[in-house]
Amino acid sequence: MKIRKVLSTIGLISVLSLSILPTVSNAENVDAFKNASTTGETTLTEKDFQKVKSNLLDMGIDSVTVDNLIVKLENGGVIDSDIMSPEQAIDTNEVVEGGLTTTTYIYPDGSQSQLTVEDNSIVKDNSKITLFSITDGSCTSGSGYVTCKNRKIAYTGATYGFSFIANYETASGAYDQITSADKWNIWTAGGTYANPKLRIVQAKENANGKAEARLSGTITLANSAGAISRSLSLLVGKDAATDKWNAFY
């Protein structure tokens, strides 16, 4: 396992190319904790509190800080990780283990959020391509290219999270592309979400920018803390796949 401090989002190295038309499936969402309807109800239930606490502990936050964050919610407050962008984090850690890369953003009140990528990446060593096999995906390689399927990208905050699955291709000496994006999921604890949208913003890399798939949504936070727009992006270009959490729709 490799752990390192970073101040930017993750990049996963790859190489590839092919000509497959991009597709975006009908949205599939499974709300794991609370039925996030658009009724405007933003009350945290006991089940919500349990899930928030479990999320925070799973991120590696110590129990004292977790208890303080739960009290903050119980008193009608908002956890920093739910309203601040990664750029406002006071510290950032990246953990790489096999094909799983997790970036953790740490905020002033001790809360954290995580950006996770499960990928079958490739590295090039003296012209020899080696594949790293992991769960939820597979890669096939050829002469100067790799096609990766079922790559999962996910962002987990204290009271909400986004994820989707994408297929992409890169090619040495050619433009990279995203061929599909589907199976999106947005969940909330105590809040609601609206306007979910998964689309391929740009299917193929060009001279002006990378290929991008983006899942967007509007989150109404618990404790009547208001609504925010957020999005999760997959960027593919320059023989690399990069994920990014955005403070915009």
Q: Is beta strand 177-188 parallel, antiparallel or unpaired with respect to 23-24?
A: parallel
The pLDDT, as a whole number, for residue 100 is 73
Write out the two tokens for 224.
């009547």
CA atoms of 108 and 106, how far apart (whole Å)? 7
Q: Which amino acid belongs to residue 189?
A: A
* Domain count across the chain: 1
Q: pLDDT tens per residue, the chain (249 residues)? A: 554 444 333 333 332 222 334 555 444 443 333 333 343 446 799 999 999 999 899 889 999 999 999 999 999 999 999 999 999 999 999 988 876 788 999 999 999 998 877 654 444 433 333 332 223 556 677 777 878 888 888 888 899 999 999 999 988 889 999 999 999 999 999 999 999 999 999 999 999 999 999 999 999 999 888 999 999 999 988 887 888 899 999
Name every residue whose Cβ is closer than 8 Å to that of residue 191 and which is 6 or more positions away in sequence: 34, 36, 42, 159, 160, 219, 220, 221, 222
Residue 145 near residue 117 (C-beta atoms within 8 A) = no
Query: What is the largest distance, in Å, between two alpha-carbon atoms of the chain?
Result: 59
Q: Containing domain of residue 241, as a range?
A: 2-246
The pLDDT, as a whole number, for residue 239 is 81
Residue 169 near residue 20 (C-beta atoms within 8 A) = yes
The pLDDT, as a whole number, for residue 152 is 86
The pLDDT, as a whole number, for residue 99 is 66
With b for 16 or more beta-carbon neighbours within 10 A and e for fewer, the 32-66 pattern comes to: ebbebeeeeebebeeebbebbbebbeebebeeeeb
Residue 17 near residue 169 (C-beta atoms within 8 A) = yes
